[in-house]
Amino acid sequence: MKQKSCMILKNYEQLKTISDPFRTKILMLLVEQPYTGQQLAHLLEVPRSKIHYALTELEKNGFIQVVKKEEKGGIIQKFYQSTARSYYPSDQLLPFSEDLGNYVRDLALNVLERAKIRALSAPEEAFQFNTADKEKWPMISMQLEAKVNEEEFIKWLAKYRKLLEEFNNMKDDKGKFFYMTTVGFQIDEPFFEDNKNL
């Protein structure tokens, strides 16, 4: 079964399952590619029993599935992958805002951690340019803050998501792979000096 682009969380048990930071971390890995329990235990440096329990909970609630099996040394190894690339709550889960908030915060932190790993493992050429004109660089790295109306921010995000979807649908067999990650959320206080008097 192919990964769906998104899965809607329909019940509290699903929300509770991915409100656990460790299970969210495993799920983020399984969004990218299939792993066995043994591979995950090695990658995350935790006991296999801890991985097994997390995989059982994720599979039971429809977040992951077995995508292939291989026999190795008389043992059947199961490769798990996420059933979707992203997860969103249904309206009926909104009353559980604390659990939902924990999940969304952990998700943002995991996205940032994966971005850090991707930046550290990128080829040297990804960060070397032959021009000082940043508009011609094949990369972007920035932090921004803006004081705006929440409705306007949501409208702007809708346009931004369309651009990201356009990027996601770009295909060129002779091209190179490029990686994008995005997080954005409300903050209490600005960090940038010129925003502190707004």
Over its length of 198 residues, how does the chain's per-residue pLDDT go in tens digits?
688 888 999 999 998 898 898 999 999 999 999 999 999 999 999 999 999 999 999 999 999 999 999 988 888 999 999 999 888 888 888 787 777 788 888 888 888 998 998 999 999 999 998 898 989 999 999 899 999 999 999 999 999 999 999 998 999 999 999 999 999 999 988 888 888 887
Query: Model-level pTM?
Result: 0.74
Using alpha carbons, select from 89, 103, 93, 114 the residue that is nearest to residue 9. Answer: 89
Q: Which contacts qualify for 98-105: CB closer than 8 Å, 24 or more apart?
A: 99/12, 99/15, 99/16, 99/19, 100/15, 100/19, 102/19, 103/15, 103/18, 103/19, 103/24
pLDDT at 1: 67
What pLDDT score does 83 carry?
95
Task: Check residue 101 and give its pLDDT.
Answer: 81
CATH 1.10.10.10 fits 1-121, yes or no: yes
Range 32-41, long-range pairs (CB < 8 A, 24+ positions)? 32/114, 33/81, 34/67, 34/68, 34/79, 34/80, 34/81, 35/79, 35/80, 35/81, 36/77, 36/78, 36/79, 36/80, 37/78, 37/80, 38/77
Domain with CATH 1.10.10.10 in the chain: 1-121
